[in-house]
Amino acid sequence: MYITFNLNHTITVELKDGTFIGTTSGTPTSIPAGGYNLYFDDTVGVSGPSFRLNGPGANFTENMTYGEYPSATLYVALQPNTTYTWFNEEQPGVLFRFQTTSQSIGVSTGSQSSGSGKTSSSSSQDIVGSAIKTFRGSLDAIVYKNGKLSLANGGKTVKSLKSGSYTFSVDDESPKYGFSVQVLKGKAKTITGKSYVGNHNVTLTLKPGRWSFFTPGGKQATFFVTS
């Protein structure tokens, strides 16, 4: 799916063939169930739109840090025979509905990309891996005002995780520090930048290896991902 943030503060969601996803009235759009890559495009740098997807196993928000990042890639697994909704949180009264069929498809993620900072280019992010993984839930992260970071799974500090997709739900309370994730010898993924304050959710696929989370220029905390 290709999700575009437009200068007029609207959001469009479409498939590669140009099919628009979601209707505000009448019969919902129908697509196969299965794994989808969500490619976010905010190259125009509009600040404000926030994409919200709701449905079984697919509840998350992506706002591109309100114009700070030009692109991002997430992964979602849509269940069969299920209705989903999406909307722009700037326009909560306009709800788009779509449904999945009993047919399931699998989408290889291939090379993923995500924007870095405010540049107009994107770079390959090998931290998300090259194959669809099981969605394993949310990880709760906090960036405290003093720069201290925490990462928890079910209320317990993260020391090790099974490989798969996780939603990093970051509560950033600091205007000076941010939250980044990186696999050993891989490229860092910035979830919240140094100037960002607020909540931000990003879903990443973690492959086996040694990982760390940190604020840029700060101390790293390590955890391990097993197969």
Domains of the chain: residue spans and CATH: 1-124 (2.60.40), 127-227 (2.60.40)
Position 106 scores a pLDDT of 60
Q: What is the pLDDT of residue 88?
A: 95
Output the pLDDT for position 65. 74
What distance in Å separates the CA atoms of residue 1 and residue 84, rounded to the nearest whole number? 14
Helix (H) or strand (E) holding 43: none
pLDDT of res. 133: 54
Q: Is the dihedral of CA 15, 70, 112, 198 positive or negative?
A: negative
Q: What is the pLDDT of residue 214?
A: 95
- Amino acid at site 14: E
CB of 172 closer than 8 Å to CB of 201: no
End-to-end CA distance of the chain: 28
Residue 99: strand pairing partners: 30, 83
Rounded Cα distance between 109 and 38, Å, is 10
Note down pLDDT in tens along the chain; length 227 residues.
999 999 899 999 999 888 999 999 999 999 999 989 888 888 888 888 999 999 987 888 888 877 777 778 888 889 999 999 999 999 989 999 999 999 887 643 333 333 333 322 233 333 333 334 578 888 999 999 999 999 999 889 999 999 888 889 999 999 999 999 999 988 888 888 888 888 888 888 898 999 999 998 788 899 999 98
pTM of the predicted protein model? 0.52
